[in-house]
A and B are shown apart, each in its own frame.
Chain A
Amino acid sequence: MTTAQATDTVDQQADFDAVVSAEGRIEPRDWMPDAYRATLVRQIAQHAHSEIIGMQPEANWITRAPSLRRKAILMAKVQDEAGHGLYLYGAAETLGVDRGELLDKLHAGRQRYSSIFNYPTLTWADVGAIGWLVDGAAITNQVPLCRCSYGPYARAMVRICKEESFHQRQGYELLHALSHGTPAQHAMAQDAVNRWWWPSLMMFGPPDDESSHSEQSMAWRIKRHSNDELRQRFVDICVPQAESLGLALPDPDLRWNEERGTHDFGEIDWSEFQQVLRGNGPCNEQRLDQRRTAHENGAWVREAAAAHAAKHSGPTSDDAVSGTATGEGAMAG
């Protein structure tokens, strides 16, 4: 590196630091430290992967939803998740990576997705528990990302959070209907909350003293609050909601702490969290297998689309066919 280049880098770093500390936004064409770029790629890809793997536990109930209204809500939600995946892969691509490459890494187990989606949806009430707790935890995590220093990610999060909070309310409302329904429905709701509560708390990641990326991410204004801070906020939000649902949270140590002005809660089973992260959760293999299978079974479709596009680059004559058909439709009418 010449002296001039070194000076440039120093200036660029200073400019970057100034923008970040002034709460400005870094945009795709701006200079950024390599490590900042790499951290964002890792985080946004993991976030995108979570959206698309997260479709599976809920899609598991689309064909069994107990009313047409619930079926429509669930389909719309799963569709939104695919859309969130698309926004996020788009945001990641502004950092110079390719969506296909990220998917390959997911399929090869080299990039992660949220540990929560390795738990099975065993009853209909799980769909409600996912909406209330899992989406609730996601929102608590993601709302601060709307102010993240990287512009494309922050903007994607604004759109995503709007839809997520709608999903969260739907999940709450679903559980409310069950908990105020028949005794069997109430029991189904309680059982789901019992199974999803602790895994939802794990969504905030390891405790602050074991979180490897936190400090740097906070300095870069990618992350705004620590894992434990967000987890505490989530617990404080959920306690009154559980009360109005008439459902118990499965934690004998959960109680209001007058002195701290917040809830104390029990110890998380971090060994379970580590097991799930290592691939040994209840559905890790199944989730990745389904993803890989969908991708492999779809290869011929993607190849066909590419081959067709190559043959017919430029405006295609396809419009003529649609036009003809519309004309015929009008004639038939």
Chain B
Amino acid sequence: MSTPVFLTGRAADAAVALGDDALVLSHRLGEWAGHAPMLEEEVALANIALDLLGQARFLYSLAGDEDELAYLREERAFRNAQLVERPNGDFASTIARQLYFSSYQELLYTELASVDGELAPLAAKAVKEVAYHRDHAVQWTLRLGDGTAESSRRMQAALTDLWRYTGELFDPVEGLPVDTAALREPWLASVSAVVRQATLTLPDGPDRSGWTAGGGRHGIHTEAFGRMIAEMQHLHRAHPGATW
């Protein structure tokens, strides 16, 4: 990857927003460590979390200091989509979140890699990781959806529960040279193919909820997010100026 160029203005905002998505989801997946249903998933979830953290670090480094961006911004300054900050819930919830988000990220990075811009090199590298993340989510959606009655019920409930956070993914990201709204159709097609094959049904409720709909990109988050970053930032903030 070429030497990072510092971005400014809206291009920097876009890098930070995508970095926030990656950081926050990585953090949530990191919470699984030591709690996964089997050892293979300890490895897989940590692996995905690490990939995402690597993406976040690269994106932040384009806009400024990675630790300042991660540890010294308050809740209202984060621009991640609300979907990635949703608590892990059970394994089905985590997988539904992964399916929705990695399917989006794969389309987004594929598009971004093809647009000549500062984010193209990152997107070209990350899309390979994201394809693996999506495959992992797809395989588990199929196993859970078409597994036992219990797993099918849980997987359906998770897909339905998170559905209302998916609409925001297709809102414009300020400064990003991608028409995110145009990703919605291919996203719907790929997610619905998986859901169908998993013998589940695509939720038909609204894809956004309440007055905070689409809030994450504007710094309006869900209540769970404040606690998440309080935990993430507390040590760094307790020692201002220290290096680690």
- On A, residues with C-beta under 8 Å from B are 52, 55-56, 59, 62-72, 75-76, 78-79, 82-83, 85-86, 89, 124, 174, 177-178, 181-182, 184-185, 290, 293-295, 297-305, 307-309, 311-312, 316-318, 320-322, 324-326, 328-333
Q: Tell me, yes or no, whether B223 is within 8 Å of chain A by CB.
A: no
Scan residues 66-90 of chain B and give those whose CB is less than 8 A from a CB of chain A.
66-67, 70-71, 90
- Beyond A178-B244, A181-B242, A301-B144, 8 additional pairs, beta carbon < 8 A: A63-B27, A63-B231, A69-B57, A69-B244, A72-B54, A75-B49, A82-B43, A298-B91
A316 vs chain B, min Cβ distance (A) = 8
From A185, A298, A328, give the contact of B242 (CB < 8 A): A185
CB distance A305 to B142 under 8 Å?
no
B183 A325 Cβ-Cβ under 8 A: no
Contact among B34, B49, B54, B243 for A55, CB-based, below 8 A? B34
**Residue B31 CB within 8 A of the other chain:** yes
Complexed CA–CA distance, A321 and B27 (Å): 28
B-side contacts of A309, CB under 8 Å: 143
Show the binding face of B for A, using Cβ within 8 Å.
Answer: 23, 27, 30-31, 33-43, 46-47, 49-50, 53-54, 56-57, 60, 66-67, 70-71, 90-91, 103, 106-107, 110-111, 113-114, 127, 131, 134-135, 138-139, 142-144, 146-148, 150-151, 154, 182-183, 186, 189-190, 193-194, 197, 231-232, 234-236, 239, 241-244
Residues A63 and B107 in contact, CB atoms below 8 Å apart: no
List chain A residues, Cβ under 8 A from B50.
72, 75-76, 79
Q: Are A333 and B33 CB-contacts (below 8 A) given A79-B46, A86-B43, A326-B131?
A: no
Q: Which of chain B's residues has its CB closest to A55's CB?
A: B34
Nearest CB of B to A99, in Å: 9
- Chain B residue at minimal CB-CB distance from A181: B242
Residues of B near A304 (CB, < 8 A) are 143-144, 147-148, 150-151
The answer to whether A300 and B30 touch across the interface, beta carbons within 8 angstroms, is no
From A63, A181, A302, give the contact of B243 (CB < 8 A).
A181
B84 → chain A closest CB, angstroms: 15
Asked whether A66 lies within 8 Å of B235 as measured between CB atoms, the reply is yes
User: Which among B46, B147, B197 is the interface contact of A307 at CB below 8 angstroms?
Assistant: B147
Complex: chain A residue closest to B106, CB-CB: A329
A93 to chain B, nearest CB (A): 13
Interface pair A86/B142, CB less than 8 Å apart: no
Contacts of A321 in B (CB 8 A): 138, 142, 193-194, 197
A–B Cβ pairs within 8 angstroms, 15 of them: A55-B34, A64-B232, A66-B235, A75-B49, A76-B46, A85-B39, A184-B239, A305-B147, A311-B146, A321-B138, A322-B135, A329-B131, A332-B111, A332-B182, A332-B186
CB < 8 Å: which of B42, B56, B91, B236 contacts A66?
A: B236
Q: Are A177 and B244 in contact (CB under 8 A)?
A: yes
Q: How far is the CB of B235 from chain A (nearest CB, A)?
A: 4
- Output the residue of A55, A182, A290, A300 with the most chain B CB within 10 A: A300
Is A52 touching B197 in the complex (CB atoms < 8 A)? no
Q: Note all chain B residues with C-beta closer than 8 A to A52.
A: 39, 42
> Does B67 lie within 8 Å of A78, measured CB to CB?
no
Known: A184-B239, A301-B91. A322 touches B107 (CB 8 A): no
Tell me, in angstroms, the Cα distance from A301 to B45 when the chains sit together. 15
Nearest Cβ on chain B to A166's Cβ, whole angstroms? 15
Closest to A317 in B: B197
B235 near A64: Cβ-Cβ < 8 Å = yes
Q: With A298-B91, A304-B151 as given contacts, are A325 and B142 in contact (CB-CB < 8 Å)?
A: no
The answer to whether A297 and B90 touch across the interface, beta carbons within 8 angstroms, is yes
CA distance A124 to B236 in the complex (A): 10
Q: Which residue of A lies closest to B49 (CB)?
A: A75
List of B residues within 8 angstroms of A297 by Cβ: 35, 37, 90
Query: Does A68 contact B235, Cβ atoms closer than 8 Å?
Result: no
Bound together, the chains give a CA A13 to CA B90 distance in angstroms of: 52
